[in-house]
Structure 1
């Protein structure tokens, strides 16, 4: 079935979607959603008895990712159910196919949440505060019964000196720090990919957190650090620092900041020479270049290493 923008769903996938509803339904519109880089996202309009409802379908098409983590669809499905049970604003799980045996490709079908991604807000202070309070609320869940456990994305022992950087030796110092012992932390539910492109807004308020495929239990500092390294690339260090201050305000005594997790989050994004994340461009972010992103990452690194001098 082809959507109005030329993207197609396999007939097997269409039949699987229809089978998830108690009453006969028709899929009357299929629209590819922007911003997805590691999976394929569609918005579906499903019609039954003259009523239209919107859903989001995620298809896990990347074979190399599925080889490393074959249960991606199951992971996101479990995470969505868990987060909804905890009272978080997340899409409601309709169905999933862990292997793709029925749907043709591993799939998660979920409700479409109201709101849209906002990357260039008109009121930075309100935007940062709301972003931080949303994350602090997420971390109130201790998640001791959550089966997925945190691990870093990169092994720092395998990272090479970044030849693109103007402060290569400082990066090597960061690798050395990250390879040391982890600080103690309070375990909680973490989204693991919390950044502005995974948050929906309406009327300057957060309406939902999306993209739950990496959720696990682990240190809150990893979520904070991942968001901060995204903000540092998009807007610069001062916005990343404002976000940290706002998060500390909302989390209170539940959170003890340690720059170690910021460094881990920074080394986690290293994969060759840094470039502008395609998702930012897809959501209308302007003014970024690969050179600017690399410059901001160097600056951010130095600001983090300065924090270690204070410890």
Structure 2
């Protein structure tokens, strides 16, 4: 047995391998919030090894939908240049062959970088990658985007006044030009070697919708990781890389308010990665500052 991988799942994985190959080790990877992510070391039978990554959703109602989206995205991206994503090996979206719904993919080199140091150099690299993602024209469009947060679900910290921001998202969503979306594009899902991106992972939320959804989500994460100004600077970098943004205030405020609902869940993997100062209280304060910055900077957006 391989520690951390169930008997049924291991048998399923090994059915995807060449006859002479065997899984010889497994190592849990950090960063997964909704899924268990494990790196598998495969002996190729000739003295060498290769890596695969197993993602399993445990007791997640949406698992089948998410894994179907991810598998579809990886198939779409397999023949696309400019977007580096894992290669799909196999998927069991309903958990019919594994203990849990699972997806098996190739392992990419590189690591997640969350440090403040070097963020200025990484920003345009992230922006260019996101522009490339939004330029993908799939043969079959993924499902349309869904936003679950509302004006009523925002979790306002004690002493904060977000009423003006909340009023922004009470309005109907503006019209948009549809794009191929990652839906969780942020530093925690991007692998780097130096200043070069070696992979974008976690495509379970792949959707079709406004580019602003991806840009605002990355901006919110950058604001929480590094400070409010970096959220605005990412939007500028995206446009400098050739991306187009419209109705920025609506989408950026919506994503920032949505982040308030999961601050503690977001902060945990960041602290596990070494950013111990990013406590829930710290992120709540940074989010409040970011929302204030968004409202103050509205004159610089394309909205009245």
For the criterion TM > 0.5, the same-fold answer is: yes
C-alpha separation between the residues in 1 aligned to 2:147 and 2:25?
39
C-alpha separation between the residues in 1 aligned to 2:139 and 2:84?
20
Q: Report the counterpart of residue 270 of structure 1 in structure 2.
A: 260
Q: Report the counterpart of residue 78 of structure 2 in structure 1.
A: 84
C-alpha separation between the residues in 1 aligned to 2:19 and 2:95?
23
C-alpha separation between the residues in 2 aligned to 1:284 and 1:273?
17
More divergent stretch after superposition (218-227 vs 260-269): 260-269
C-alpha separation between the residues in 2 aligned to 1:272 and 1:205?
30
Distance 1:85 1:70, change over 3 A: same
2:239 aligned with 1:248: yes
TM-score, structure 2 as length reference? 0.91
Matches within 5 A, 1:291-306: 291-306=281-296
Matches within 5 A, 1:1-311: 1-3=1-3, 8-50=4-46, 51-61=48-58, 63=59, 65-66=60-61, 68=62, 70-87=64-81, 88-120=83-115, 122-143=117-138, 145-156=140-151, 158-159=152-153, 162=156, 164-168=157-161, 170=162, 172-252=163-243, 254-256=244-246, 258-271=248-261, 277-308=267-298, 311=304
Q: Secondary structure at the match of 1:132?
A: helix
C-alpha separation between the residues in 1 aligned to 2:177 and 2:192?
29
Q: Secondary structure at the match of 1:213?
A: coil
Deviation at 1:153, TM superposition (A): 3.1
C-alpha separation between the residues in 2 aligned to 1:214 and 1:197?
14
C-alpha separation between the residues in 1 aligned to 2:222 and 2:228?
8
Q: Give every structure 1 segment of 4 or more consecutive aligned residues whose post-TM-superposition deviation is greater than 6 Å.
A: none
Task: Could you tell me which runs of 5 or more consecutive residues in structure 2 were left unpaired when the two chains were aligned.
Answer: none
Q: Secondary structure at the match of 1:222?
A: helix
Distance 1:161 1:210, change over 3 A: closer
C-alpha separation between the residues in 1 aligned to 2:167 and 2:63?
28
Q: Secondary structure at the match of 1:71?
A: helix
Deviation at 1:143, TM superposition (A): 4.4
Q: Secondary structure at the match of 2:261?
A: coil
Deviation at 1:49, TM superposition (A): 1.9
Contact persistence 1:276–1:289 (CA under 8 A): no
Q: Secondary structure at the match of 1:303?
A: helix
C-alpha separation between the residues in 2 aligned to 1:160 and 1:39?
25
1:122-159 CA-to-partner distances (Å, cap 9, x unmatched) read 32321111111111111112447313111113233x42
Deviation at 1:118, TM superposition (A): 0.8
Contact persistence 1:149–1:217 (CA under 8 A): yes
TM-score, structure 1 as length reference? 0.89
Contact persistence 2:154–2:260 (CA under 8 A): no
Contact persistence 1:276–1:293 (CA under 8 A): no
Q: Secondary structure at the match of 2:16?
A: coil
